[in-house]
Amino acid sequence: MKNFLLILFPASFLIVLLSSFSFAQNNLELVHDHQGYYMNVDYIQIQQVDILNFENNIEELIKPIQQARIDSDYIKEWYLYRVAFPGSRNTQYNYVVVSISNEICGFEDISNQISVSFHHDELDEKMATYFNLMAPNHSELWKINNSVLVSSEAKPSRYFLMDYMNVRSGMEYAYLMMEDEIARPLHEIRMENGNMEGWEIFSLITPGGTEYGYNFAAGNHVNSLRNIEFGFSEELIRQNRPDTNVREFFNNVEETRDLVRSELWELVNYVK
């Protein structure tokens, strides 16, 4: 017999959250290094004729600058992705840059962050080229609310699947609780089975507002496209919790949030 946690929200309807999910103990030593950190995402459009020049500058210019930021303890990690499968036919970017910091101010004033690593004259020239290459179409600042990774030391996964969510007003706590108490254990099982390298939940700090379209996102780290096809599924739930009313479960999820878009990024390079 299933137990249910009932929470009454405004707008006169009841959200039913399963509270009795119990799973076998995970044998992996999972890490939570990113939890509570901040993530800056820059969306960049590189024209086709400029891609070769852009990629040639990754090792020579872009990575040394990011390494200097890490050495100065402003950011913890830096990733460059190619947008392999855009979330829209009208997507206006083809590269994504992700920086992670334990301080929200770690994304400010890159020139000042690396000034001790380069000579003044050299710095001015490098930063001029850098900003010309890395000017974003737009940027976002996120809080990492939940994070489970197989390893913090291994090479990052080949793919990163970003699911952008619009969580209804007043449902933020319910959504985060569902992700933590229900989705997270299921994803940990996928990691145990070797089908996933990590899973994270992000809340958007800025920009925002109802017109922006989304306010949360889920990040899925995988090494193979097959692990995207067979992801968080009815089969996985039934295998590990056969007494669950799967239809009711997914209905509750849909009442809490809408999936605005989903897109797949492929790792190009990284520093950490």
CATH of residue 247: 3.30.70.100
Query: d(Cα 169, Cα 175) in Å, to the nearest integer?
Result: 11
116: its two tokens? 């001790």
Please give the Cα distance from 189 to 148 (Å, whole number).
11
Judge if 135 and 255 occupy the same domain: no
Query: What CA–CA distance (Å, rounded) separates 260 from 69?
Result: 33
CB 157 within 8 A of CB 52: no
User: Do 61 and 72 reside in the same domain of the chain?
Assistant: yes
Residues 23 and 146 in one domain: yes
Find the helix or strand (DSSP H, E) in which 26 lies. none
Among 140, 155, 188, identify where a domain stops: 140
pLDDT of residue 100: 97
pTM assigned to the model: 0.86
pLDDT attached to residue 154: 78
* Residue numbers in the chain where pLDDT is lower than 50: 1-25
What are the pLDDT digits (tens) for 108-156?
A: 999 999 998 988 888 999 999 999 999 999 999 999 999 999 987 878 9
CA distance 118 to 116: 6
Q: Which of 140, 170, 196 is the last residue of a domain?
A: 140
- Structure tokens of 207? 């920009």
Phi first, then psi: give them for residue 147, nearest 5 degrees.
Answer: -155, 125
Q: Mark whether 203 and 253 lie in a shared domain.
A: yes
Asked whether residue 104 falls in the same domain as residue 151, the answer is: no
How many domains does the chain contain in total? 2
* Per-residue model confidence (pLDDT) at position 235: 73
Which residues constitute the domain of residue 26? 4-36+142-271
- Chain segment 83-111, per-residue pLDDT in tens: 999 999 999 999 999 999 999 999 999 99
b/e map of 153-190 (b: 16 or more CB within 10 Å)? eeebbebbbbbbbbbbeebbebbbbbbeebbbbbbbbb
Q: Are residues 198 and 96 located together in one domain of the fold?
A: no
- Domain boundary, last residue among 105, 140, 175: 140
Dihedral angle, C-alpha 115, 117, 73, 106, nearest 10 °: 30
Same domain? For 161 and 234 the reply is yes
How far does Cα 74 stand from its chain's mean position?
A: 19
How far is the C-alpha of 46 from the C-alpha of 137, rounded, in Å?
10
Q: pLDDT value at position 19? A: 42
Tokens of 73: 């303890």
Q: Are residues 190 and 119 part of one domain?
A: no
Q: How far apart are alpha carbons 152 and 198 in whole angstroms?
A: 10
Q: Are residues 101 and 22 in the same domain?
A: no
On whether both 30 and 146 belong to a single domain, the answer is: yes
Are residues 242 and 123 part of one domain? no
For residues 264 and 178, state if they share a domain: yes
